[in-house]
Amino acid sequence: MIEIIPAIDIIEGKCVRLSQGDYNSKKVYNENPVEVAKEFEAAGIRRLHLVDLDGAKAQHIVNQKILEQVVLQTSLTVDFGGGLKSDDDVRIAFDCGASMITGGSIAVKDEERFVRWLKYYGGERIILGADVRDEMLAVNGWTETTNIELLPFIGKFKRKGLTKVICTDIAKDGMLQGASVDLYRKILNQYPDLYLIASGGVSNIRDIEELEHAGVPAVIFGKAIYEGNIKLSDLKRFL
């Protein structure tokens, strides 16, 4: 059964969504992210992907108080990401109750530090955030595409103890045009024991079913819920 992981993205303390990572496309869906998290919990959801978009822009953790409130006021297992660049950022996130953190740009820009986190906290708690455009890694809030290929990049960290990857196809994110199923199949063909979390493009229940059929272990999505394309009651059979 595919794991269902709704996303809450935070800007200025509010629940928002972007399209293709563009901050100018910001749409506010709720002034109170904790309220949204409680709705997810009431629907039977157990896992949440919480993204500090202010932190991603500022290059350091910003919205740790919201993380803390979500953890204190719900029983959701939270993975937290966005701008985690330093050892202090990661410590703060875990001190505020995150069960896992996601590191993206840091794994590209400071590989040594990311590996150190992997070794210290373990592969169950440190997730690699692999944001890609045409299978090339993108960093710094997706503003910069590198010449680093996705599959060898995953393999390098897998050899260092990585077990979980969130892979986002930037072209799909927030566009409600379907997930990159072929890309995820390709990743799983090479790394069948990887806990791959698909992210970006989910527009309806059929997209989730297609990912499940492809053997993808977990899926993150947000806009499809906020826009009403997927109702929380539709997710019951996956929970």
* Planar angle of CA 6, 230, 80, nearest 5 degrees: 10
Q: Widest CA span of the chain, in angstroms?
A: 43
Which run of H or E residues covers position 195? strand 195-199
Q: Model confidence over 111-154: pLDDT tens digits?
A: 999 999 999 999 999 999 999 999 999 886 666 789 999 999 99
Active site residue 193: no
Phi first, then psi, for residue 120 (nearest 5°) are: -75, -45
Find the domain containing 172 and state its range.
3-238
> Residue 53: helix, strand or coil by DSSP?
helix
* pLDDT value, residue 21: 63
Asked if residue 20 lies in contact with residue 50, where contact means CB atoms within 8 angstroms, the answer is no
Q: Model confidence over 127-138: pLDDT tens digits?
A: 999 999 999 998
pLDDT beyond 70 at 47: yes
Phi first, then psi, for residue 156 (nearest 5°) are: -60, -45
Distances (CA, A) of 156 to 77, 106, 146, 199: 27, 14, 16, 21
Catalytic residue among 9, 54, 169, 173: 9
Share of the chain above pLDDT 70, in %: 95
CB burial of residue 206 (10 Å; 0-12, 13-18, 19+):
exposed
This prediction has a pTM of 0.94
Asked if residue 15 lies in contact with residue 33, where contact means CB atoms within 8 angstroms, the answer is yes
Contacts of residue 133, Cβ cutoff 8 Å, sequence gap at least 6: 142, 145, 169, 170, 171
The phi-psi region of residue 74 (left if phi > 0; otherwise alpha if psi is between -120 and 50; otherwise beta) is beta
Tokens for 171, please give them. 């072209």
Share of the chain above pLDDT 90, in %: 82
Domain count, the chain: 1
Give the CATH number for residue 31.
3.20.20.70
Catalytic residue among 52, 89, 131, 173: 131
Active site residue 22: no
Counting every residue written for the chain, the total comes to 239
> Residue 158: helix, strand or coil by DSSP?
helix
CB burial of residue 171 (10 Å; 0-12, 13-18, 19+):
middle
